[in-house]
Amino acid sequence: MVFLNQDPKEGKSIPEQPTSWTPQTGSSTRPPSVQDDCDSKKPSHTPSRQQLLKDQTTEKQDGHGDINGRMAVVDLAASPEDGHRGQGDYVHGITLFFILLALTLSVFLSALDLTIVATAVPKITDEFHGLAQAAWYGSAYFLTDGGFQSSWGKAYKYFPLKFAFLTAVCVFEIGSLICATSPNSTAFIIGRAINGLGAAGIATGSYTIIAFVAEPSKRAAYTSITGSSYGMASILGPLLGGVFADKVTWRWCFYINLPIGGVAATIIVFFFKNPASAKPVEASWGEKAMQLDLVGVFLVMGLMVCYLLALQNGGQDHPWNSSIVVGLLVGCVLLTIVFAAWEWYIGERAMLVPRLFRNRVICVNSAFTFFFSGSYFLSIYYLPIYFQAIDGIDPIMSGVRNLPLILACTVAIISSGVFISATGHAVPVEVVGSALATIGCGLIYTLDVGSSSGKWIGYQIIAGAGWGLAFQVPVILTQAACNKTPKDISSASSTILVFQCLAGSFFISAAQSAFVNNLILSLPKNAPGVTAMKVMNTGSAELRNVFPSEVLPGVVRSYMDGLKIAFAISLAASGVSFLFTVMNRWHKINKEEDTKTTDSDTS
């Protein structure tokens, strides 16, 4: 077990100074990115959120986690502040059971939406008659999920816990309802964006509530139970998506969120009461708005939307050198510059604190996470299309065929955590993981029409093992790099996870544009009598029902040519991530001399 705030000589944890409200998150979660810029002075006999969560926090990397490396075990050990705190805030018995049930259900749903749509995309494109906007189905969720993580973390500091958490659940449910009832692709994309906005607040709120209602000695176990639902959702997502899409309708991928989310919200309404120690930090509305950094969030949204629209239109609706496409790309660059300037201007209130990027470990691992996660998300998104369009299987079997990757990834995450806990060596795991992922991506790139089951099973196992080994390492390394400044752990962890989520939006959009453009270019050669418009208006799962047998092989060949480009981008991203691993300092993260922020770590 790795304790990130630890005195190596004594084997005891170093008490943290009162810094921020948020608990220091563990190996891989969506941590509340809370800065303590306007903490109110509180009488010593009435512990504030900051005092309560000054509890000596030990970061336990026990290997549990979901495929995206977001689950954490947070152990808020007893501290002197607990001596001042009444036991009334802690919850026991049936009340605690129901609260944990509600939190687990909520986290499960937010994680399920990451993967359930992957196997349903071909059916969704069938109903909405087109591939052009398919990239938005995943990108919209990742965009808001990543962009609003920091803001939600701060919302739990400045607003009542119960109100903030129920708001997150309600937003998620509204997004689910819009997706389930969407009459067209545009409405569906809007629903996915709202989904991601709510999901960004659910996990953060779940772990925060546990920190307040559970006794310090039991918090790690309860957080592990709640967070383990990520792994379960990651495994069940592709299967459920396939079952719903094939046996009922893809809309049930989102209808299912409504009753389960409703049950979770109802439980919170009746069983959870805001702890006295969780009184919101007093601040003006102007200060709250600055802390949430909504300006930064919307600048990120704006630059990403410009990027997505440029890729969606370029080479399809408009030439790449058209004024529309060029204007969108220029707008993306300009908004990126404005965003960087704004983040520098507001400093510690920023969603991405500029000061942290002077630390080499944080800077390197942010870049690593961006490319490494992008590689993973592309494979999760395009392998189901390969199975359904190229091999002609149904969505259910498509989900089953994804199991080698998901299971290998899950086992590797656990193995990675155990190894790092036992040895303190995290960088070698990151190197090996990215190397395996790159090899696996290269092998997946070789998949073609008629590839044997042995190939796609073996290739997924290799790639999945690589992704699982390294996914949680960037968070572990960045948290270890902040041991001398524990107030930065939350913001540093959040930075990594923002890059992780935005990678999904960035790379899926790039791959979809390349996929569609290459498909269109290859059609005249492979299927001369078939128009690009007809293929674009046909969902990938319906190819065999729309095109006659004499032209079907050519259409499938063109699909394969497009998928090759998507897989090539995944391979390139994984390869770039491997290059970043060599920039890390090779050290044991639980050694005193290696937890200091040295000159070699900053620039």
Q: Look up residue 332 and give its two tokens.
A: 């993306």
Query: Could you tell me the fold of the domain covering 20-33+44-293+351-601?
Result: Growth Hormone; Chain: A; (1.20.1250)
Q: 452-484 burial, b for 16+ CB within 10 Å, e for fewer? A: eeeebeebbbbbbbbbbbbbbbbbbbbbbbbbe
Q: Look up residue 288 and give its two tokens.
A: 């709250």
Structure confidence at residue 571 (pLDDT): 95
Structure confidence at residue 21 (pLDDT): 40
Rg of the chain, C-alpha, whole Å: 24
Structure confidence at residue 455 (pLDDT): 93
pLDDT tens for each residue of 354-387 = 888 888 888 999 999 999 999 998 988 889 889 9
Distance from C-alpha of 57 to C-alpha of 73, rounded to nearest angstrom: 11
**Tokens 């809370």, located at residue:** 34
Residue 318, φ and ψ in degrees, nearest 5? -140, 150
Start-end of H helices in 159-184:
161-181
In the 8-state DSSP scheme, what is residue 25? P
Residue 104, φ and ψ in degrees, nearest 5? -65, -45
10 Å CB burial of residue 218 (0-12, 13-18, 19+) is middle
Handedness of CA 201, 275, 230, 1 (dihedral sign): positive
Residue 543: C-alpha distances to residues 23, 390, 463, 534 (Å): 51, 9, 28, 10
Lowest mean pLDDT among 75-84, 183-192, 243-252, 391-400: 75-84
In the 8-state DSSP scheme, what is residue 7? E
3-state secondary structure of 484: coil
Structure confidence at residue 339 (pLDDT): 92
| pTM attached to this predicted model | 0.72
Confidence of residue 416 (pLDDT cuts 50, 70, 90): confident
Q: Are 519 and 535 in contact (CB under 8 A)?
A: yes
Select the more confidently predicted residue: 88 or 123.
Answer: 123
In the 8-state DSSP scheme, what is residue 3? B
pLDDT tens for each residue of 462-479 = 999 999 888 888 878 887
pLDDT tens for each residue of 509-544 = 889 888 888 888 888 888 888 888 888 777 777 788
Q: Are 32 and 152 in contact (CB under 8 A)?
A: yes
10 Å CB burial of residue 95 (0-12, 13-18, 19+) is middle
Select the more confidently predicted residue: 108 or 57.
Answer: 108
Q: Are 430 and 473 in contact (CB under 8 A)?
A: yes
Q: Supply the mean pLDDT for the chain.
A: 77
Start-end of H helices in 248-347:
252-255, 257-271, 285-292, 294-313, 323-346
Going by C-beta distance under 8 Å and a sequence separation of 6 or more, which residues neighbour residue 590?
2, 3, 4, 6, 8, 424, 480
Confidence of residue 32 (pLDDT cuts 50, 70, 90): very low
Start-end of H helices in 347-426:
360-385, 395-401, 403-423
Distance from C-alpha of 62 to C-alpha of 415, rounded to nearest angstrom: 9
Taking residue 529's Cβ as centre, other Cβ atoms within 10 Å add up to: 10
Structure confidence at residue 231 (pLDDT): 65
Structure confidence at residue 458 (pLDDT): 94
pLDDT tens for each residue of 542-565 = 788 888 888 888 989 998 999 999
Going by C-beta distance under 8 Å and a sequence separation of 6 or more, which residues neighbour residue 493?
25, 29, 31, 33, 475, 478, 479
As beta bridge partners, residue 359 has 602
Confidence of residue 13 (pLDDT cuts 50, 70, 90): very low
The residue count of the chain comes to 603
As beta bridge partners, residue 314 has 318
Q: What is the percent of the chain where pLDDT is above 70?
A: 78
Q: What is the residue type of 399? A: G
Q: Are 292 and 304 in contact (CB under 8 A)?
A: no
Q: Look up residue 372 and give its two tokens.
A: 């490494």
Lowest mean pLDDT among 60-74, 318-332, 414-428, 545-559: 60-74
As beta bridge partners, residue 7 has 12
Torsion of CA 311, 312, 313, 316, to 10 degrees: 110
Structure confidence at residue 358 (pLDDT): 86
To which H or E segment does residue 13 belong? strand 12-13
Distance from C-alpha of 266 to C-alpha of 260, rounded to nearest angstrom: 10
